[in-house]
Amino acid sequence: MTSLDTEWPNFAGVPEEDSLISGRPRGQTLARYVWWDGEVREADSLSVHYYANALHYGTAVFEGIRVYPTARGTALVRLNDHVERLISSARLYGMKLPFGAEELARGALEVTRRNGIQNGYLRPLAYFGSGPIDLRPKKECPVRVFIAARELGTFLGEDALRNGIRVTISSWRKFHHTMLPTMAKASGHYANSVLAAHEAMDRGYDDAILLNQDGTVASATGQNVFFVKGGVLHTNDVTSSIVPGITRDCILAIAQEQNVPIVVRAFTREDLMRADEIFMTGTAAEVTPVRELDGAEFVTGKNTLGALFQRAYLRAVTGKDEKRLNWLSFVK
């Protein structure tokens, strides 16, 4: 177990704050307004055509953006990075977005303001709309864009953030980057994750970790995977068929600041089984520890390195770290 006071003295400047986890709602309440093709509209007045190419062939790209209350007002986390990744995903699918980065960012801020959301989650999504039944949607299908919103506190619940979750290695493999563009956050790709998540649920686990075609670890169903061994932080990179997560990038930035040794490489199921700690990162899941992997138990708790990363991350996204205010875009 890593000790806050001895091995990681730099983290001593990150005070414990139980309020970062407790008191946040877990439910997911849909918001009243949606930013739809450039204007804010009532959600109940909107629909997607039943012949939208995206419904039939999974040709949509999307993002997830967290919203938190701060002392300076409501803030969106890494907004510009999420917008840029949406644009990049669209490019990989030959999708020409009718809006630029600045318009999309303004739309995200506006729909947050109109809905009065504080603890929330935004879902920007671009998709190929209705047109001929064709596997060449960029030829005739219009590109539609919306930004939906919902209230969201703790995604997996307080107990998951405090004490960790139980996960299993899925029998389903993550697709290789020569099969699909793994760096794109595309809706059709997530059928892979749905299969793994259902399998984990049927086995009695909270989530699954997928291996890639090489037999090394790819990711969880919607999160990047980290482990700690001997005080060294390990994670993989895009060569392991991952979406390079924005929360993952936050953790790596915090690790560099705190002088935590980092190894970025492909790793195996065996590496995970031999780890001292495992945790997952994602916009919705934040920093979630793993307490069990296929029956093997792992240390969790407030004095673990994973918990220190969780604390530092939650302080940053809620505006309590002056050095990380550039991660936040404030609603005015």
Measured CA to CA, the distance from residue 135 to residue 141 in angstroms comes to 10
Tokens 């909107």 label which residue?
Answer: 46
Element (H, E) at 128: strand 120-128
Q: What is the DSSP letter of 176?
A: P
Q: What is the DSSP letter of 9?
A: G
Altogether, the residues listed in the chain come to a count of 332
Catalytic residue chosen out of the listed positions 96, 138, 185, 320: 185
Active site residue 185: yes
SS3 content of the chain, % helix, strand, coil (to 5): 35, 30, 35
Measured CA to CA, the distance from residue 69 to residue 75 in angstroms comes to 6
Region for 120 from its dihedrals, namely left if φ exceeds 0, alpha if ψ lies in -120 to 50, beta otherwise: beta
Question: Which ranges of 68-146 does DSSP label H, i.e. alpha helix?
Answer: 79-92, 101-115, 137-140
Q: What is the DSSP letter of 271?
A: H
**Cβ neighbours around 15 below 10 Å, total:** 9
Instruction: Please report, to the nearest 10 degrees, the dihedral formed by the alpha carbons of residues 271, 274, 276, 278 taken in order.
Output: 40
Q: Work out whether strand 143-152 and strand 120-128 pair parallel, antiparallel, or are unpaired.
A: antiparallel
The residues assigned a catalytic role are: 185
